[in-house]
Amino acid sequence: MDLFSSLYPFSFCSLASGSNGNCYYIGNGDEGILVDAGISLRSIKKRLSEVGIPMKQIKAILISHAHIDHIKGLSALANTFALPVYASFQTCEGIFRNWSASGIRRDLLHTIEDGEKVQLAGLLVETFAVSHDAAGALGYHIRNNHNSITIATDLGFICDKVSHYLSKASMLVIESNYDDEMLTNGRYPKHLQQRIRGEKGHLSNIQAADYLTQHYHSGMKQIFLCHLSQQNNTPELALKTLNQYFLDKQISKSPETVIRALPRGARTELIHVI
């Protein structure tokens, strides 16, 4: 399929999002790819089939980084369906070191580094580095000729390059990991709180809200808050923080812009952007 003559609809489904597992489907007509495989193969197959996507439609897997919540189901998924896997060299090393993913067939792994592009399932994939406590962590900007999605998950702050890719996407999947107060008053020890808040940690509700209200434009058709912490956040708090920022800064959203917090242990429906 020719990338720039395609009229196929662009679609997205979050199969899981959060500290217990992450997996996203991005579709381009009757083909698609997965970003991360942090839940079991059984759950991936079940949730895809529930939204009408057969496994043969999946053409490749992109991996953001080698933390367990992003690679738990990777080796079973890739090996069973002989799917090519794209990740940075350092992420590939992390995959080999991880007990749950190290059984992956070496010939399925392809390295892709910060700034590189690859075409998969008729989609153009661009990569950008993110600041996180996993070596070689990448975000992805994925597009066909009509629409685009940027996935920026697990990052301590939004640098100019990440901002560039977020602000040009029609669908944004942006981390909104923790509520400051919940983290401060919760059960996490101080050193872990510091790691989460650090430049190689995670984005808070306030950081996501601040970024989104500073850079919002009506071309942002779908904004998905992702990777919410089970201990230190709720979907209601993440959305409330963002909506309060829009109100306080007196920024009016286009009626076409949809904002949602992605569920942790469940999938969304298949979402189309025409």
Residue numbers at the binding site for Zn ion (CB under 5 A): 67, 69, 154
* Shortest distance, position 22 Cβ to Zn ion, whole Å: 6
CB 154 within 8 A of CB 204: no
Per-residue DSSP letter, 39 = S
* Shortest distance, position 230 Cβ to Zn ion, whole Å: 12
* Shortest distance, position 39 Cβ to Zn ion, whole Å: 12
Tell me the C-alpha distance between 184 and 235, whole Å: 18
Tell me the C-alpha distance between 31 and 198, whole Å: 38
* Shortest distance, position 153 Cβ to Zn ion, whole Å: 6
Query: Of 75 and 177, which has the nearer Cβ to Zn ion?
Result: 177
* Shortest distance, position 154 Cβ to Zn ion, whole Å: 4
Query: Of 47 and 65, which has the nearer Cβ to Zn ion?
Result: 65
* Shortest distance, position 98 Cβ to Zn ion, whole Å: 12
Per-residue DSSP letter, 178 = B
Query: Of 66 and 121, which has the nearer Cβ to Zn ion?
Result: 66
Query: Of 69 and 179, which has the nearer Cβ to Zn ion?
Result: 69
Query: Of 154 and 179, which has the nearer Cβ to Zn ion?
Result: 154
Q: Which residues neighbour 77 within 8 Å (Cβ) at sequence distance 6 or greater? A: 34, 37, 41, 44, 61, 83
Q: Find where tokens 């990740």 sit.
A: 87
- φ/ψ of 137, rounded to 5, equals -65, 135
CB 248 within 8 A of CB 265: no
H or E element, residue 186: none
CB 238 within 8 A of CB 228: yes
Dihedral Cα 136, 141, 142, 143, nearest 10 deg? -160
Query: Of 89 and 214, which has the nearer Cβ to Zn ion?
Result: 89
